[in-house]
Structure 1
Amino acid sequence: MSEANVILQRARERAGQLGLPYSGALTPAEAHLLMQQPVGATVVDVRTAAEWQFVGIVPGAELIEWKRYPGMAPNPEFLAQLKQKVDPQRVVLFLCRSGARSHDAAALAASHGYAEAYNILEGFEGDRDAAQHRNTVNGWKAAGLPWVQG
């Protein structure tokens, strides 16, 4: 079994354990490894444009806002933009700040024909530490994975 298949199987097992309405849940490290495999995984970052600009982005990620800053109103074009940028046959890895918006995006995608929709647990910035700061406990940046300033 290939490394990609092992990662995807582990993610699917988490989905079953957590009762997720989409294919699975990945750690940031698993998502990064999957991006390097020949399965053709696409990261879709669903944070706001302000977050992309000021906090940073994963190189090569598709950027589609789930909610729009400053009011955090839902993006009514999200699904149309997703369909325009990402083939429903691809493995899609959704990412946000902490894993909440990406959970919702993965659920919506799965309900609209994306058979391989996954949430990246912990998100880009991860959980807050004791001082209420992100980027230190877990998440993409805390794991030391590639990112660039927006």
Structure 2
Amino acid sequence: MTEAHPKFSRRLVLGVGAAMAASLPLAGFAAENAVITDQDAYTRQQAGQMVIVDVRTPQEWQQTGVAVGAEPIDMSDPEFLQKLVQLRQDNPGIEFGFICRSGNRSGQVQSYLAQNNVAGVYSVDGGMSGNGQASGWISDGLPVEPWTGQ
């Protein structure tokens, strides 16, 4: 199954990058391939240091649930980047950890934002279901909650 990715306009990305970067403390250059383990992401989330953003589709959220406390924002939603900006404004100075099924789509989002100078963004290694190198959120026994459709 091929994982889809949104088409972002350069103007929109620059606006999102500026909005997200403005709300993060300056920590040097954005890491283009910043990956975090699921356990580290969960620990940071529980400490109030990270927002986990689930970029999968509603069908996937329905099938497996979402990581407890994660913000489900389908990356194929035409308003994906605008929703990220709003989430960033609601959580100033907090890192973002993106999660998908296996780490592919979340890695694409993280890399794209980092290439546009957004710091403090990570891809959760292995995603929800694992990828052959990392077992994934569900297999690692981290908490999941049903998606309520909202």
Q: TM-score, normalised by structure 1?
A: 0.68
Question: Residue 140 of structure 2: which of 140, 143, 150 is its match?
Answer: 143
Counterparts of residues 56-95 of structure 1 (less than 5 Å): 56-67=65-76, 75-87=77-89, 89-95=93-99
Call closer, same or farther: CA 1:38–1:84 in 2, change over 3 Å. closer
The CA deviation at 1:38 is 4.2
Partners of 2:37 and 2:80 lie apart in 1 by: 24
RMSD: 2.4
- 2:10 corresponds in structure 1 to none
Counterparts of residues 117-136 of structure 1 (less than 5 Å): 117-127=121-131
Call closer, same or farther: CA 1:82–1:38 in 2, change over 3 Å. closer
Letter in 2 for 1:109: L
Runs of 4+ in 1 over 6 A off after TM superposition: none
- 1:133 corresponds in structure 2 to none
Partners of 1:80 and 1:113 lie apart in 2 by: 17
Q: How many residues align?
A: 116
Call closer, same or farther: CA 1:113–1:84 in 2, change over 3 Å. farther
Q: Which residues of structure 1 form unaligned runs of 5+?
A: 1-19, 68-74, 129-136
Secondary structure, counterpart of 1:86 in structure 2: helix
Partners of 1:148 and 1:77 lie apart in 2 by: 24
Letter in 2 for 1:78: F
Counterparts of residues 20-35 of structure 1 (less than 5 Å): 21-22=32-33, 24-35=34-45
Partners of 1:37 and 1:110 lie apart in 2 by: 23
Partners of 2:40 and 2:73 lie apart in 1 by: 22
Q: 1:8-39, CA deviations, whole angstroms, 9 ceiling, x for partnerless residues?
A: xxxxxxxxxxxx615x2111111111112243
Counterparts of residues 44-59 of structure 1 (less than 5 Å): 44-59=53-68
The CA deviation at 1:54 is 1.7
Letter in 1 for 2:84: L
Letter in 2 for 1:141: I
Identity of counterpart residues, as a percentage? 35
The CA deviation at 1:46 is 0.2
Secondary structure, counterpart of 1:42 in structure 2: strand
Partners of 1:105 and 1:124 lie apart in 2 by: 16
Q: Which residues of structure 2 form unaligned runs of 5+?
A: 1-30
Letter in 1 for 2:74: E
Q: TM-score, normalised by structure 2?
A: 0.68
The CA deviation at 1:116 is 0.2
